[in-house]
């Protein structure tokens, strides 16, 4: 079992609460970085997002620097992972490049056997 938290630059206070709650219970948290297809990015956070195209659709995605800024908050927390290896212009959000879901499935199966 793990918790997936939909993350963006303007819900980090809630992210901190979710991380604290589930880490205390030893439940892994996977931060999933949201992409936005319309201009819903608050003006104060516009510089943290870049407009890019994935296959057919264009969308606003978090920049690599902003992703790193968020991940640094939890750098010493063994329960927190990013959905995907690297986000933003230096990475890809493609599911096939990650493996977090598969890892957590097998860890949960091992816990159930114990």
Tens-digit pLDDT profile for residues 20-58: 999 999 999 999 988 888 777 899 999 999 988 766 788
With respect to residue 41, please indicate whether it lies within any of the assigned structural domains: no
With respect to residue 78, please indicate whether it lies within any of the assigned structural domains: yes
**What is the count of structural domains for the chain?**
1
Angle at 16 between CA 75 and CA 109, to 5 degrees: 70
With respect to residue 24, please indicate whether it lies within any of the assigned structural domains: yes
With respect to residue 39, please indicate whether it lies within any of the assigned structural domains: no
With respect to residue 11, please indicate whether it lies within any of the assigned structural domains: yes
**Token couple for 24:** 């205390």
With respect to residue 19, please indicate whether it lies within any of the assigned structural domains: yes
> Which of 23, 6, 18, 9 minimizes the C-alpha distance to 83?
6
Instruction: Encode pLDDT of 50-106 as tens digits.
Output: 988 766 788 888 999 999 999 999 999 999 999 877 777 776 666 777 788 888 888
With respect to residue 90, please indicate whether it lies within any of the assigned structural domains: yes
With respect to residue 101, please indicate whether it lies within any of the assigned structural domains: yes
Q: Which domain holds residue 11?
A: 3-33+64-113
């Amino acid at each position: 079992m793990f918790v997936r938290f939909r993350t963006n630059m303007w819900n980090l206070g809630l992210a901190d609460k979710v991380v604290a709650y589930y880490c205390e219970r030893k439940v892994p948290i996977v931060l999933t970085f949201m992409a936005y297809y319309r201009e819903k990015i608050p003006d104060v956070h516009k510089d943290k997002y870049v407009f890019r195209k994935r296959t057919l659709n264009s969308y606003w995605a978090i920049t690599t620097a902003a992703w790193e800024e968020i991940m640094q908050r939890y750098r010493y927390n063994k329960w927190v992972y990013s959905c995907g290896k690297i986000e933003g212009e230096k990475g890809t959000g493609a599911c096939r490049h990650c493996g977090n879901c598969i890892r957590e499935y097998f860890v949960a199966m091992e816990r159930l056997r114990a």
